A and B are shown apart, each in its own frame.
Chain A
Amino acid sequence: MNATRIVLPALTILAIAATVAFTQTPAATGTKDPIARGRYLVTAMGCNDCHTPWTMTAQGPAPDMTRMLSGHPADAKLPDPPAGSEAWPVSVNTTNTAWSGPWGISYTANLTPSKAHGLGAWTADEFLAALRTGRHQGRGRQILPPMPWPMISQLTDDDLRAVFAFLQSIPAIDNHVPEPTPPQGR
């Protein structure tokens, strides 16, 4: 397999993404501090698996926490993805932030509080609306694979607000994630 491209069936890779070990230590549960609660949830739900670009380390690929939750790097120069096939429809790049499949190419979002390119201008209600409806900005196009929003939508309002509070507390990174692109030929 080409080292620059990992091609796996969509369902398998979703499962793998959900079980990848994560480098942060979860905060203790039971806290009433929403930021600590949000940090715990973000850690346990594996948000960094896709929203933090991966890099190669001596121990193997791992999220680059200097770019924590800043989404697909705007400066990444990627060749066109492989065409995919019925048996192998999905591919993902080495940073684990660009996904190609029958829906087109999706790039993981910048979740940092960057006002220009992240969630800095969002309200908690908008964040909840997006994750409850599965629609971009709560009312636009569908949020694309591999984002597991139906699972996250099962969180309570308090937990979603805690996640948002944590995301607003982390360092802002002005990384302009590209728009998703439709399937080639459309």
Chain B
Amino acid sequence: MNSTIWQTKGYIALAAAVSALGGCDQPPAPTNSVPLPVATTPPPKLSATGLWSDPSSRTLAADVLTYSPQYPLWTDGAAKQRWIALPAGTAIDARDIDVWQFPIGTRLWKEFAFDRPVETRFMLRTDAGWQYATYVWNQDGTDADLAPERGLPGVVPTRDGARHDIPGLVDCRLCHEGGRSPVLGFSALQLSPDRDPLAPHATPKSAGDVDLPALLARGLLAHVPERWQTSAPRIAARTPHERAAVGYLFGNCAGCHNADGPLQRLGLRFDHPLAASTAPALTTALDVASHFSRGDATHRLVTGDPEHSVIVRRLRATDPLTQMPPFGRHVADTAAVALFEHWLGSELPGLPVASTQTTQPRTH
């Protein structure tokens, strides 16, 4: 299977390379407005980014906090760890509860492991915008080196014959700059203490992880609307599986499919404003005709018929022309597919219209 994927991608890359040869060895520098890597150069080693106070023992620096989003991104089963550090004396501006504004100097890290750490992605808020970098771990696990701007394909095997790709800078920006906030996994909904027990691949919150109440208690959130100081964000849904399915779309797809980014004209929304009375995913996807068709599937999500739901087919797909997300994975997320099959096929038929409730009282 994956030899076919690589053959396919190889030909795409080959054609691109041949086309590029039509230019010259030193192509002219176009006045690029899209995409534009920030000018600041990231450190050459992960150990120089401030993640650890003692790199040899991987002791976290004092200002580094761990966190775990309740709706994680699927990356072929990679085990992940995440950290954030804010400059001393600063706080995140959360007056828009859905789009937090991070202070200059904010740093985030995300480690991807397949049996061993493989890469750690790094984001830094500078006065010129967000800087992105990826560090590739060395074989002995002592440190990680800055990856090339173009990324590195196929660095380690993952599962089912697939291999893991280190993203390039363009990939970073495509995923992180398609909506209102470049920070995707650190938000009120993702850090709600009312965690979704059916969310695929969510890791239990560890004792040291910060969530919404912990950030409030530490004074790291400013201008939080009063409602969200006492209520835990929660996806409005009619059933537990619907909640998890909408959450999965939020965690895996809302970076591009939202109300504000370049793809808004598709009218497909997986962002989830906490003030919304109904999940946009339900109103824009459920029994809505798709711009994309594959075979006899013509609607995005079909009540009672997951087999004819375009989104389910794209979640199942592993060919580069069909799969969603379009990059960042090579293996289908079978747990997510099973979730959608159960929700659409078994739960949805006969359900009442979507609930308008968006919160529930915090119980702890």
Contacts and interface: CB of A to CB of B under 8 A. Distances in A.
Contacts of A133: 34-35, 170, 174
Interface residues of A, number: 46
Contacts of A101: 11
Interface in A156-175: 156-158
B263 interface: yes
Contacts of A56: none
B139 interface: no
B31 A158 contact: yes
Interface in A124-146: 125-126, 128-129, 132-142, 144-146
Interface stretch (B20-28, B238-246, B341-349, B353-361): B20-28
Interface string A1-22: 0000000001100100010000
A52 B32 CA distance: 28
B35 A103 contact: no
A34 interface: no
B19 A149 contact: yes
Given A103-B12, A142-B320, A181-B321, A125 B33 contact: yes
Contacts of A137: 262-263
Contacts of A179: 292-294, 321
Contact of A183 (B20, B23, B31, B319): B319
A81 interface: no
Nearest to B318: A186
A43 interface: no
Tell which of B10, B18, B31 has the most Cβ of chain A within 10 Å.
B18
B5 to A, nearest CB: 9
A44 to B, nearest CB: 13
Nearest to A135: B174
Interface in A88-146: 89, 101-104, 121, 123, 125-126, 128-129, 132-142, 144-146
A132 B17 contact: no
Contact of A157 (B15, B18, B30): B30
A133 B37 CA distance: 13
B319 A102 contact: no
Contacts of A76: none
Contacts of A180: 321
Tell which of A134, A146, A186 has the most Cβ of chain B within 10 Å.
A186
Nearest to A15: B18
A103 B34 contact: no
Nearest to A129: B34
Contacts of B319: 104, 182-183, 186
Contacts of B262: 123, 125-126, 129, 137-139
Interface in A31-75: none
B8 to A, nearest CB: 5
A121 B291 CA distance: 13
Contact of A153 (B17, B30, B174): B30
B23 A151 contact: yes
B7 interface: yes
Contacts of B28: 154, 156
B11 A157 contact: no
B18 A154 contact: no
A125 B34 contact: yes
B47 interface: no
A101 B8 CA distance: 9
A150 interface: yes
B181 interface: no
A18 B22 contact: yes
Contacts of B322: 182
A153 B16 CA distance: 11
14 contacts: A102-B8, A102-B10, A103-B12, A104-B319, A125-B33, A139-B175, A139-B263, A148-B22, A150-B20, A151-B22, A182-B8, A182-B317, A183-B8, A183-B319
Interface of B: 4, 7-12, 14-20, 22-23, 27-28, 30-35, 170, 174-175, 178, 256, 262-263, 265, 292-294, 317-323, 326
Given A141-B321, A179-B293, A186-B319, 17 more contacts: A10-B11, A102-B11, A103-B320, A133-B34, A136-B326, A139-B178, A139-B262, A144-B12, A148-B22, A150-B20, A150-B23, A154-B28, A156-B28, A179-B292, A182-B8, A183-B319, A186-B318
Top 3 nearest A-B pairs (CB, nearest first) are A148-B19, A145-B15, A182-B319
